Amino acid sequence: MGLRIEVIPGESYLHKLDARPKFLLFLILTVVVIFFTDPIYVGTILVALLLLTRACKISVRKTAQIVKASSLLLVVYTLINLVMGPGNVEAAKNPSNILFYLIPTLNWLPVTPQGIVYSTALLLRFVIVIYLLQLVLFTTPVVDIVLALVKWKFPPSLALGTSIGFNFVPVFMNTARSIIDAQSCRGWRGLSSGNLVDKLKALPVFLVPLFLQGIESAQKIAVAIEARGFGYNIGKRTYRREIRLNSVDYGTLVIEVILLAGSTILWYAGYGTYMFTYSLLARMKI
Amino acid sequence: MRIFKSKEERGSLWSFGSIQIGYAAAFGGLAFAMRALGVGVPIAPGMLMDARDVVSIIGPGFSGLIGSIIIGILAALPSAVFSVQIYVPLCLMWALVFYFFRHPWYHVVNTILLLTVWNVNWAVWYQIFGFIPEFWVAFIASLTGAVVYIPTNIILIEVLRKYSPTAKRMIG
């Protein structure tokens, strides 16, 4: 399951925020969480996001569904970082740091406290990135994203193509479902059954009609936009709704700049590494 | 056998008319729908080779250089992780391959790029996101995807060229 592209209506701060500072907030927070490898620093950002979600009157459970859907990926990701993360690799050189082995019978894949702290921070980082993107999409209509692209000086034809593409998503979802049903009726066993070669053979059975449908739709779109005067001075195209930055948007932009600058300074000064939580735990003798 | 397309066959690199918008919107929407539906080939537990990647490789051949940006954006958006910065450069790369190379040479170039640039790109981003800290482990993980995509792309392009005159005209 991927992200849900739907808007949950509301009148909150995040709903009213212009799409541009909202996407900048997403990008800046993604950069900020990449700076830090400490669970306390990253956890604080996650708590702030949960509070923001509550303030927007959006269900945390609904927003977190994307995290739940990615749980298998999260487990694999955490295990990889637990064993191969730099914190664990460095600490495992000293045998006194090793807590246990993931494969105890062979004494393979040692796990150290530093590795656990580091992988926890990276797990939280991953959760923040996917949670935040879902939160932004829940509060931003697609048309606002397209208008933001135009305001960011994207060519109007590019924004037009993106918006048409968005509008065609449900059409293709229905087409894909119909093709799956039609091919299943003909004895197609889907993409999940059999070995890798069987799966490879099964893929074109599904993709070829879908691509042919895509080609046909593309030609219809081209005729439709030509018929609506696409070729006539698209640069001067106007929109039914205009988006403008207001004082709240400017205030948010200032906060974003402060957040980015502050985090950069902390990172540059050496704060926010996994050793912070590790040393706290060591001092508490946990 | 000529490797590169002639100037007449290529046309303008920057052309972005209604037909290119149509293809970009259709294939972008298709890539988005595939990801949203979770269509893909399960390789191992937790590892799904995404069918949208096939669209993001072939689609730019139809929509041209600028249209490939739209396909990249729409293919990347439904991911759990923000991946527009990964998909858009890759789509631009595939657009250039189809723009410059004749059939069947683009299969050769696509295969080389899937085994090298595509994997390096994913491996680097896996490291930046911190998913897989070791570069070579990340590289080999994405290589399993390339093993699926290479034959799928070749079969798909050949079938499309055979049954759709439009496809043959657009990608050469």
Residue with tokens 């056998």: B1
- Is residue B6 a part of any domain in this protein? no
Find the domain containing B39 and state its range.
Answer: 13-171
Antiparallel, parallel or unpaired: β B40-44 and B47-50: antiparallel
pLDDT score at B88: 93
Angstrom CA distances, B89 to A57, A137, A242, stand at 37, 23, 30
- The Cα B63–Cα B73 span in angstroms is 14
Range scoring the smallest mean pLDDT among A93-97, A173-177, A211-215: A93-97
Residue B43: pLDDT over 70: no
pLDDT tens for each residue of B69-105: 999 988 988 776 668 888 999 999 999 999 999 999 9
Chain B residues 101-160 within an 8 A CB cutoff of chain A: 128-134, 137, 148, 151-152, 155-156, 159-160
Q: How far is B1 from chain A (nearest CA, A)?
A: 28
**Percent of chain B whose predicted confidence (pLDDT) is above 90:** 43
Task: Using CA coordinates, name the residue in chain A closest to B167.
Answer: A215
pLDDT in tens, A46-69: 999 999 999 988 999 888 888 887
Tell me the shortest Cα–Cα distance from B114 to chain A, in angstroms: 17
**Domain holding B157: CATH number?**
1.10.1760
Residue B134: its pLDDT value, please?
79
Average pLDDT value for chain A: 86
Q: For position B47, what pLDDT does the model report?
A: 65
B78 within some domain: yes
B81 lies within 8 A of chain A by CB:
yes
Are the Cβ atoms of B25 and A161 closer than 8 angstroms?
Answer: yes
Closest in B35, B81, B155 to A129, CB measured: B81
The answer as to whether B3 is a domain residue is no
- The segment with the largest mean pLDDT, out of A84-98, A132-146, B15-29, is B15-29
Question: How confident is the model at residue A93, as a pLDDT?
Answer: 84
Residues B114/B150, Cβ–Cβ less than 8 Å: yes
Task: Give the pLDDT confidence score for residue A144 in this predicted structure.
Answer: 86
Is residue B87 within 8 angstroms of chain A, CB to CB?
A: no
Number of domains in chain B: 1
B5 inside domain: no
Tell which wins on pLDDT, B96 or A103: B96
Which of A224-238, B14-28, B107-121 is the least confident region?
Answer: A224-238
How far off is chain B from A235, nearest CA to CA, in Å? 13
Does the pLDDT at position B123 exceed 60? Answer: yes
Examine residue B4 and state whether it is found in any structural domain, yes or no.
Answer: no
Cβ of A230 within 8 Å of Cβ of B18? The answer is yes
Q: Using an 8 Å Cβ cutoff, are B78 and A172 in contact?
A: no
- A85 vs B contacts (CB less than 8 Å): 133
Has residue B65 been placed in a domain?
A: yes
Q: Is the pLDDT of residue A94 over 80?
A: yes
pLDDT of residue A3: 64
Is the minimum CB–CB distance between B32 and chain A shorter than 8 Å? yes
